């Protein structure tokens, strides 16, 4: 079961910004919350565009450290769910909590600062910039030094800038892109551009990473590399991951649980084995094949 995607919406929001300027901290600590409390919780969330119910009464939760798949045919509402979690859309109904705090309707930069990062369905890199600069952009917005010290390149600014450069280089090493630091982002092979986009999301130090179709447009070898890469960064950075993906092999291979949407509603939730044979899931995907 491999499904292709239709053209993207132009309304996808801007890239995230960094949450902190501290030295790169190494693996994040396990959550201080009780393990029983979900890291992310959506309760009865809906999103209506004009007359269209893109997402209808969806509830879902992720525990710290889980890797959960969010799947469904084209137009099922998956990206809209991401846009509500990241604050780019305010749900028409329902509530969202992250790490025990309600985040419904908060501005995207506040949600990024709380520890949620994302990548986009269509890659968003600054194509004219180098690989290193792309990661630095995610850091730069939070430079603590004042505008004056930046304008006159006073020592405080230069020190901070240098610390960020080092952090960004360390992150590039972690993701295996250090050899490309000075290459133009657009010159990277497609699979590495995807990896750079993930690195940029990691620069904001998330606890929760939302990946929107990271394997889209990849060949089987790139997809295999990406699958291993997601597993590695998950361990290394102590991440909880929500993954939208049409490549069923990838989804079934790495997700512990899967949540299935169709026409904005939840039609199934469960283990990869349960989802693979779920009659409503099979029906939804067969319906899509017929429409195609």
Ligand X SMILES: Nc1ncnc2c1ncn2[C@@H]1O[C@H](COP(=O)(O)OP(=O)(O)OP(=O)(O)O)[C@@H](O)[C@H]1O
Which residues here bind ligand X, judged by CB under 6 A?
Answer: 5-6, 9, 11, 49, 52, 54, 72, 74-80, 121
Q: In the chain, what is the greatest distance between 2 CA atoms, to the nearest angstrom?
A: 65
Q: Between residue 102 and residue 131, which ones bind Mg ion under the rule CB under 5 A? A: 121
The residue (of 65 and 75) whose beta carbon lies closer to ligand X is 75
Query: What are the C-alpha distances in Å from 210 to residues 52, 81, 221, 274, 291?
Result: 24, 10, 22, 23, 29
Residue 119, C-beta contacts closer than 8 angstroms, at least 6 positions apart? 194, 197, 198, 201, 209, 210, 211, 212, 214
The residue (of 88 and 139) whose beta carbon lies closer to ligand X is 88
- Among positions 56, 64, 79, 227, the unique one binding Mg ion when judged by CB under 5 A: 79
Distance in Å, CB of 207 to Mg ion, minimum: 23
Residue 21, C-beta contacts closer than 8 angstroms, at least 6 positions apart? 139, 142, 143, 144, 160, 163, 164
Distance in Å, CB of 78 to ligand X, minimum: 3
- Chain centroid, CA 178 distance in Å: 22
The residue (of 66 and 245) whose beta carbon lies closer to ligand X is 245
Distance in Å, CB of 5 to Mg ion, minimum: 7
The secondary structure element, H or E, covering residue 59 is: strand 52-62
The residue (of 121 and 193) whose beta carbon lies closer to Mg ion is 121
Distance in Å, CB of 281 to ligand X, minimum: 14
Which spans of this chain sit near Mg ion (rule: CB under 5 A)?
78-79, 121
């Amino acid at each position: 079961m491999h499904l292709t995607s239709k053209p993207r919406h132009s309304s996808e929001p801007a890239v995230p910004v960094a949450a902190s300027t501290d030295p790169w901290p190494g693996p994040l600590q396990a959550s201080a919350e009780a393990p029983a409390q979900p890291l992310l919780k959506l309760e009865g969330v809906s999103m209506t565009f004009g007359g269209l119910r893109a997402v209808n009464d969806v509830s879902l939760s992720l525990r710290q450290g889980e890797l959960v798949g969010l799947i469904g045919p084209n137009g099922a509402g998956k990206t809209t769910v991401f846009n509500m979690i990241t604050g780019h859309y305010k749900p028409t109904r329902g509530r969202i909590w992250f790490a025990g705090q309600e985040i419904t309707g908060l501005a995207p930069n506040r949600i990024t600062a709380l520890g949620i990062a994302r990548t986009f369905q269509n890659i968003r890199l600054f194509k004219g910039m180098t690989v290193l600069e792309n990661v630095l952009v995610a850091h730069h917005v939070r430079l603590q030094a004042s505008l004056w010290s930046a304008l006159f390149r006073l020592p405080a600014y230069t020190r901070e800038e240098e610390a960020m450069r080092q952090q960004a280089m360390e992150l590039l090493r972690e993701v295996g892109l250090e050899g490309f630091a000075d290459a133009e982002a657009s010159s990277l092979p497609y699979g590495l551009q995807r990896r750079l986009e993930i690195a940029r999301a990691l620069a904001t130090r998330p606890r929760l990473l939302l990946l929107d179709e990271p394997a889209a447009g990849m060949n089987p070898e790139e997809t295999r590399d990406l699958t291993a890469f997601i597993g590695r960064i998950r361990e290394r950075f102590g991440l909880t991951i929500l993954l939208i993906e049409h490549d069923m092999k990838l989804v079934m291979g790495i997700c512990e649980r899967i949540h299935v949407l169709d026409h904005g509603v939840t039609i199934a939730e469960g283990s990869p084995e349960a989802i693979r044979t779920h009659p409503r899931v099979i029906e939804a995907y067969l319906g899509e094949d017929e429409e195609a």
